[in-house]
Amino acid sequence: MLSEGYDLLRSLDEIGFPVPIDHGDMKRPGKSPGYRVYLEDNGFPKTIEEVDAESMGRLWYHREGKHNGFPVVKIQDALLMVPTDDPQRKRFDELKKTQKIQRIVLLRGILDNRKFPLSEHDKQTWHRLRKKAFDWLDIFDGTDQKYLALLYMLQRFVESMATPQDFFRRLCELLVERLEQGRLEDVALAEKLLIGTPNKNRPEKPAKAEVPLIFDVVEPASPIPIGHPGMRSYVICRLRASEVRDPDGICALQGVANPLLKRRFPEPTLGALGETKLFSKNKDTPCEFRYLKNKADWEDAAKSFPIGQQLANEIAAGLGALISPALKGKTWRMVANGKWEGSGGNKRERKDLLLVYCEGQPVISDEAADIFGSDELEKRDQFENDAKALCRALDGIIKHRPQSRLHILLIGKADKEKKQVFMHLTPTPQQLLDAAERWNRVVRDNLPGVTLPLPIDKKGQTVVEGHPLPPHPDRVVRLLSSEWVRGGADELKLEGPALRQVLDMMLRSSGKWEEAARNLLHLSIQRIGPLLVGVAAAFHTEEKEKIQKFKPPAREAALRAVALLGILLDALGREKGVYMEDTAFLLGRLMSMADTLHREYCVHVRKGGIPPQLIGNALMPAASDNPEDAIDRLRERMNIYQAWAMKISGEEYRLAKWALGQMGEICHTIKRPLPTRTDQTFRAELFLGYMARPPKDNK
């Protein structure tokens, strides 16, 4: 990820894009509630207040590697000893969450009568934090008046004579006191810190707390508190100034002498992906360390790839600047990656981070990233609207900087910890402009008339007639991450195609897009074909019970699948004006008309007794594999319905007469001989013919 981050940084520097000064060891806590602990002159807790999850997530802390976070510290284990099988835990379980007074009384009893266990590990952690604070005193000596809160806190933390046990004992007492006085409200958070959540599978383990604390002081002479963003910027400046040293090697990216990074690479937080390593080595892969001289260097990634310390921090800062919350949808968004987490009915969609920027103009438009993805719960596709604004912006770039390149990066989880760049495409602005316009045009111009009614959630509103709309690229991934079975009535979540395949096909990536289109078509027919046939068959019956089996999400998926088939057929050179006159499409229309005639016979002759499956629908599997066999079987089974339709007369039989006439015209138009083998393109056109709805005035 280093080279991609370096390219981004140079592009940002070129136009003076504001990259905030950052430091590789500066992090933000997770969004979980915790406490702000104010220290007295003697280093003991003076007072305590609650910090909600959002506010905690906006704070900062400095962390070297995976340890010694400061001034935010996460307390991992409960501070009081209450074993898993302790009767007091049962008493907590018997109380309702709303019985706060009773729960506080229980906490007081535990505090007064239980041991205060502090493990040797926790003691060592505490001593390391105090040593770190001691080291910081040298860095922040002579602190500006505005930032004195930090200096005061460091002094009190270091000079305190309190042992870890004394400190946390006082913290527990203070917490319960303020709960009793009504100055703290979140009893559940206090329980979590004091008695924790036991591990039922490992009862011998300490109960988990995982509650963050931030240390602070109350000083009127220091207007900026510890957690303030201004304090964060100040700390970064002082830390970077303290790290300035003479060059000691050649930076592999810049090729000049620089003070080299001596420890692990920065780990910027990239949206929902969390902390992301810019460069790392797997100690279980010996070939990655082949050219290192000493075995001791094997786990030191910085020695594998020498890079300037300041440059490493700037690359991390550049990535962070591009994915700031204000630029969501413009330069980045999360997109579906075709995989799932969890099992059974609890499967959750996994997502990757997509970055989009242009050389010389990182922010292309407000919709630059949104054109590639959509939120999972969005009911209708808005690609066409997103694409219009983007195309206007791209047109301007083409006129003023025709040689510039776009960068489209996809970053995701390779495993639980490691993230990597899965894709890095560099199309020209013209290529993306052509792709967006083609995506819209094909759905509009390369499909027959296909509609499905979409029920409205609100009462009193009429049903909307749904049409195929251009899907966002990650909608295609999401669509093909489901397989529809049992006639399209049930949906199974499976691993879908990579977004890279969709974008290769969309952007016409040289040497890749034709194969990508064929692969996507194969997957579409395999997974979505049963849904297309099933939903069309249900509407052919016009029976409410069968139609209602296909809920709005299934109908929306069917419409997206139709749009995708139009896109894929165009990519494979099959235009609407050609394939609608060809065998596959006409055969699908013939099966649709057979359904209509069969249904009309059942309505008028069998007094509405519609069978579970109409003739055309029953023959669709045969038609998709062996058209000649399907036609022969249709001819045998349609004799009785054809004879009936030829005899009847009257306005009430108008639809039956029309369907019979359509079947005759189609049979005369279909080219002979019929194929005995088919491919996926044939099946796609067959399904479109089966779903196509003729204009109402033709009936």
Per-residue model confidence as pLDDT tens digits over 435-458? 999 999 999 999 999 999 987 766
Of 494, 344, 322, 324, nearest to 409 (Cα)?
A: 322
Judge whether 245 lies within some domain: no
pLDDT tens-place string over residues 373-400: 988 777 778 888 888 888 889 998 888 8
Of the three residues 511, 543, 571, the one that is the final residue of a domain is 571
> Are 548 and 595 part of one and the same domain?
no
> Are 487 and 609 part of one and the same domain?
no
Decide if pLDDT at 699 tops 90.
no
> Are 140 and 163 part of one and the same domain?
yes
> Are 597 and 560 part of one and the same domain?
no
For 385, the domain range is: 332-571
Run of H or E including 175: helix 164-180
For the chain, the average pLDDT equals 86
Measured in residues, the chain has a length of 699
Run of H or E including 630: helix 627-647
Of 357, 369, 438, nearest to 405 (Cα)?
A: 357
Q: Nearest 5°: CA angle at 218, between 216 and 219?
A: 120
> Are 222 and 129 part of one and the same domain?
yes
> Are 518 and 607 part of one and the same domain?
no
Catalogue the E-assigned strands of 587-668.
Answer: none
**Cis, peptide link before residue 694, omega less than 30° from 0:** no
Rg (CA), the chain: 33
- Nearest 5°: phi and psi at 197? -110, 115
Judge whether 536 lies within some domain: yes
Of the three residues 537, 571, 605, the one that is the final residue of a domain is 571
Segment 138-167 shows an average pLDDT of 83
Judge whether 115 lies within some domain: yes
> Over pLDDT 90: what percentage of the chain?
43
Report how far residue 428's alpha carbon sits from residue 438's, in angstroms, rounded to the nearest whole number: 15
> Are 471 and 453 part of one and the same domain?
yes
Judge whether 177 lies within some domain: yes
> Are 619 and 546 part of one and the same domain?
no
> Looking at residue 252, what is its pLDDT?
87
Judge whether 16 lies within some domain: no
> Looking at residue 461, what is its pLDDT?
60
Report how far residue 586's alpha carbon sits from residue 591's, in angstroms, rounded to the nearest whole number: 9
Question: Which alpha helices (H) appear in 572-582, and where do they start and end?
Answer: 576-579
Of the three residues 216, 239, 262, the one that is the final residue of a domain is 239
Judge whether 390 lies within some domain: yes
Report how far residue 128's alpha carbon sits from residue 70's, in angstroms, rounded to the nearest whole number: 10
> Are 548 and 689 part of one and the same domain?
no
> Are 143 and 213 part of one and the same domain?
yes
Q: Is 255 left (phi over 0), alpha (psi -120 to 50) or beta?
A: left
> Are 353 and 407 part of one and the same domain?
yes
Spatial CB neighbours of 595, under 8 Å, sequence gap ≥ 6: 537, 540, 541, 614, 615, 616, 617
pLDDT category of residue 220 using cuts at 50, 70 and 90: low
> Are 622 and 636 part of one and the same domain?
yes
Q: Nearest 5°: CA angle at 46, between 41 and 49?
A: 140
Judge whether 610 lies within some domain: yes
Least confident of 34-38, 120-124, 369-373, 494-498: 120-124
Segment 353-359 shows an average pLDDT of 90
pLDDT category of residue 341 using cuts at 50, 70 and 90: confident
Domain total for the chain?
3
Report pTM.
0.79
Judge whether 297 lies within some domain: no
CA distances in angstroms from 15 to 19, 41, 329, 617, listed in the order given: 11, 49, 21, 61
Cβ-contact 195, 82 below 8 angstroms: yes
